[in-house]
Structure 1
Amino acid sequence: MQAASDQPINEIHLIAHALLETGNGASPLATGQLQGAGTDGQQHVVYNMFGIGATDDNPNQVGADFAAKQGWFTPEAAILGGAKFIAQSYINNAAYHQDTLYKMRWNPANTQLALHQYATDIGWAVKQARIINYLWKIFRLYTAF
């Protein structure tokens, strides 16, 4: 809730995004991955709830390296920092205007160069939309006491 409020980004978008990028919270980047010597020369357990910086060839290590550089040593830091990165680099970015799932994946402004895409998975936006739809259905059934 804090990350969504700080940026601002819809909470359900952030939840869906994290679920997809972490394999429903089961990936090493979500559960904590030991990262080699960081900027302070020490090993750290790092977290990266949105798969930021993770590449297809070595997602856990590259994602952990990115998280270490950001100082994401707790799940909370990874959620807050990841939401800030997504907001500033994509959703609320004045240069790229990638404020929809489709734009984050395909970036229609750069179709010839295919630059500044959040994900490489061709189905990323559709997968996100399915998770968001599922979560909306669940929350509609929720009644606060």
Structure 2
Amino acid sequence: MKTLKHYSSITVLLLLFNCNAKPEPIIYGSDGCHFCSMTIVDKTHAAEIVTKKGKVYKFDATECMINFMNDFDTADIELYLSNNYTEPETLIDATKATFLISENIPSPMGAFLSAFKDKADAEKFKAEKGGDLYTWETLLAKHND
């Protein structure tokens, strides 16, 4: 009995570890964008989707991630991540980010879209560079118009 319990515990642990949805580091200059196939080099605009099963899709820009969502079952997505503009290479929860579209901050695909972890940082950059602020929801609504 003890041996059977031991194997059951190991099986449960393995299943838990295999189903964990977690981000992967983006290898800049090597990884390609899943949507447009460009090599990801911009450390302030990259993005990533992680499915509930743990599959990771990497993008050179948040706008590519949003475009990818049009052809993907979003019910399968666990994490939407965008690079924090003020902390290059740092992925943040895109659903909680504040986004700035400013023609004075270029992004890889020309949407001028940058993500900020802190709304105060986004407001500061808006004051300096101009543009419009969006939440994740308002950004998706704008994109779908």
Per the TM superposition, whether the score is higher than 0.5 is: no
Relative to the length of structure 2, the TM-score reads 0.21
Structure with a larger share of its residues in strand: 2
TM-score scaled by structure 1? 0.21
Q: Relative to total residues, which structure has the larger helix share, 1 or 2? A: 1
Structure with higher Rg: it is 2
